Amino acid sequence: MKFGLFYEISVPRPWGRETEKTVYDNCLEQVALADQLGFDSVWAVEHHFLEEYSHCPAPELFLTACAMKTKKMRVGHGIIVCVPEFNHPIKIAERTAVLDILSGGRLDVGTGRSATWTELAGFRASPDETKKTWDEFVHCLPKMWTQERFSYQGRSWSMPQRTIVPKPYQKPHPPLWVAVTSPGTEIDAAERGMGSLGLTFGGFAEQEEKVKRYRKIIRDCTPVGEFVNESVSTVNFLYCHEDEAEGVKVGRRLSGTFNYLAAQLLAAREAYPSKSYPSLGLLPSLRQEASGPGDASGAPEGIAIGNPARILREMKKWESVGCDRVNFLLNALETVPQQKVLDSLRLFAKEVMPHFQGASDSASAAAGGR
């Protein structure tokens, strides 16, 4: 199992001239350190209009900066919104190819369709259409990356025959992923041969069932791309401290701040109930988290907060249910001071990562170089 970072880039009020720059600078410092420590990847969301919760409307720019500050870490869109009112598919193909070139072939492309009414209505996108447009986009993207000339006549967009340049550095193309929040999306990912990019905080039993369904279906999939990306990722919080009580205390403050922000979001299903949005996605698990199962330390089940021994136990459980990667949120509204975030990353890399195949080689090499 491998470990990555996951960024919403939340910015606390009041917003002065330096506020957003400070948050972005902190994120980039974390990414540079994580690369030295042997973390596998860094992912960034695409969100619009979500005050404080996420000031990351241009992940391709943030990820380019990450690529310039790192040598080994993969950079991942988590996710690109595949809705024509947000992003034109030709521009997605072009931008991702350039980022893959600039990163030296380290790009992963996560796809999705947005889940908040604030964003969908802000771009005048119909919730009834987003799943259909996402499906069109993910079938077209690999062809635009690999075919010398491409044309398309479809439901939501069309183009005459043209040569789309440049082409990605990775051959045949970057791995494709799907954001999995609503129930059943892991099936959509498996049927298309795409990685499952889990963005919910469900418990082990729920995740294990999702992984089993995904693994079963992907064996007989019809991949949208040139290869099958059979990978399962989940998202988590991380705060690692030598003292368990302190780790849990700070970690719960981090997760509680994020959960509070997320609970304020207006989900598409709440504002515009439809078959296309049958679930609140991220929000129910966040609202239930405070009263969910935990352990004697007071930390919720599966959350990577506390001392290294506790976090190791929880990560081994994620490994046992079939997850290939855990991506960590490190902060929310700058609740955790930057130095504590950096210390947490160092301690996790030193005490936890070496216990996992896949993460151990890079972590050990990084430790040897310090």
Task: Give the pairing type, strands 150-153 and 158-162.
Answer: antiparallel
Q: How far is CA 34 from CA 64, 74, 88, 118, 140, in A?
A: 16, 11, 32, 33, 34
Tell me 274's DSSP state.
B
Using DSSP, state whether 241 is helix, strand or coil.
Answer: coil
Amino acid at 79: I
Phi, psi of 109, deg, nearest 5: -115, 105
Burial 172-182 (b: 16+ CB within 10 A, else e): ebbbbbbbbbb
Fold of 2-368: TIM Barrel (3.20.20)
Amino acid at 80: I
Question: Where are the domains positioned within the chain?
Answer: 2-368
- Do the Cβ atoms of 20 and 11 come closer than 8 Å? yes
Tens-binned pLDDT, residue by residue, of the chain (370 aa): 999 999 999 999 999 999 999 999 999 999 999 999 999 999 999 999 999 999 999 999 999 999 999 999 999 999 999 999 999 999 999 999 999 999 999 999 999 999 899 999 999 999 999 999 999 999 999 999 999 999 999 999 999 999 999 999 999 999 999 999 877 899 999 999 999 999 877 788 888 999 999 999 999 999 999 999 999 999 999 999 999 999 999 999 999 999 999 988 888 767 766 666 665 444 444 444 444 456 767 888 999 999 999 999 999 999 999 999 999 999 999 999 999 999 999 999 999 999 998 765 555 454 444 3
